[in-house]
Structure 1
Amino acid sequence: MGTNPKTTLYVGGLEENVTEGVLHAAFIPFGDIKDVSMPLDQSTQKHRGFAFVTYLDKEDAAAAMDNMHNAELYGRVLTVNYAQPIKIKGGEQGWASQPVWADADTWFERQQQEEGLQRLQAEHQATIEAAEAEDRKKLTEARDGETEAVDDEPTDPMAQAEAEALSINPPQES
């Protein structure tokens, strides 16, 4: 009958020291695990920040997903959801019965998506930082403007009245 896609979980956001053994230990409390697969980057021989955990029972997979999504492992927040079955290339055979990691192209696509996402997050972060820097600059300029007020600029009328009152009646020294 092929693998039921609802028993295989995609686990993303893995810290680089996480191993298949660590994942197995983290996910075994929810039920019997059939397989833990952590694809390696061929050039670095390190994993790519994600793995697949396959349970024997879909109820266990569901419990693991509920409990482990957004959980922390080695200080990194995990993304846990059902692994997507992939369409076999070329034609209308419907869903593949092979696990999602069996097709090399999907890795590359997934990798590109993850890199795209990281790039977006980095750009978003840069935008926030630029906005904060801009705000700080405005605040600094505003502060500098107050200290060197040029006489011909209209100042705050209340402040002006107070300044005039002080110059007419200097505070009495006791």
Structure 2
Amino acid sequence: MAVEPHQKTTLYVGGLAEEVNEAILHAAFIPFGDIKDVVTPLDQATQKHRSFGFVTFLEKEDAAAAMDNMNNAELYGRVLTVNYAQPIRIKGGEQGWASQPIWADADTWFERQQREEEMKKLEAENHAALRAAEEARRKKLAEEREGEKEEPEVKNDPMAMAEAEVLQQNS
């Protein structure tokens, strides 16, 4: 018989009161069968459990019986939510935020900031180069236009003839 990758022996127990600890959780679930492990993850800031825990039974039939009987049951005045725990890889596993140390995000933030500054510097340099190229192009066009200026045809234009005479007199 092939072994299933997830035997459904671990239960998620949500809605735990603050007073509930692993020993109380163990005692609440032991009537349904042999328990392999009980875990209540702690909040790092308060060092108290995060109002949920996990109970792992040796047999999946015991886990199913515990889930059927304890879901929506009361423990220390709080209604429990009991269902099968999801495998870690489904919740995020290696990709989850908790898989890296807290400073890892700070390091990547710093690297992102440095890359953004470098990009801004490159953009400014490119912008300056484009402005310089545009200015050089304008100067070149202006010089070409200067060379293209033709002498006015004085013979056919009476105004041009008068201007030419005035210019010759002033020279």
Normalising by structure 2, report the TM-score: 0.51
User: Structure 1's 103 and 22: CA in aligned 2 closer, same or farther, altered over 3 A?
Assistant: farther
Structure 1 unpaired stretches of 5+:
89-99, 109-174
Please report how far the alpha carbon of residue 101 of structure 1 lies from its aligned counterpart in structure 2 after TM superposition: 10
CA RMSD between the two structures: 2.8
Task: Give the aligned partner of residue 105 of structure 1.
Answer: 96
- Structure 1 residue 85 displacement after superposition: 1.2
SS at structure 1 position matched to 2:25: helix
Name the structure 1 match of 2:9.
7
Change (3 A) 1:29 1:5: same
Larger Rg: 2
Partner of 2:88: 86
The equivalent of 1:22 in structure 2 is 24
Cα deviation code 1:57-112 (max 9, x no counterpart): 00000000000000000000000000011337xxxxxxxxxxx797793779xxxx
Amino acid at match of 1:19: N
Q: Work out the percentage of aligned pairs sharing the same amino acid.
A: 71
Q: Secondary structure at the match of 1:24?
A: helix
TM-score (norm 1): 0.50
Distance in 2 separating the partners of 1:101 and 1:15: 27
Aligned to 2:136: none
For 2:117, the equivalent position in structure 1 comes to: none
Instruction: Work out the CA distance in 2 between the residues paired with 1:48 and 1:105.
Output: 18
Q: Which runs of 5+ in 2 are unaligned?
A: 100-171
**Distance in structure 2 (CA, Å) of the matches to 1:25 and 1:104:** 35
Aligned with residue 54 of structure 2, among 36, 52, 55: 52
- Aligned partner letter, 1:69: N
Q: Secondary structure at the match of 2:17?
A: coil
For 2:83, give the aligned amino acid: N
Partner of 1:64: 66
Question: What SS does the corresponding residue of 1:51 show, helix, strand or coil?
Answer: strand
Closer/same/farther in 2, CA of residues 75 and 101 from structure 1, 3 Å limit? farther
Q: Per the alignment, in what secondary structure is the counterpart of residue 87 of structure 1? A: helix
**Letter of the aligned partner of 1:14 in structure 2?**
L
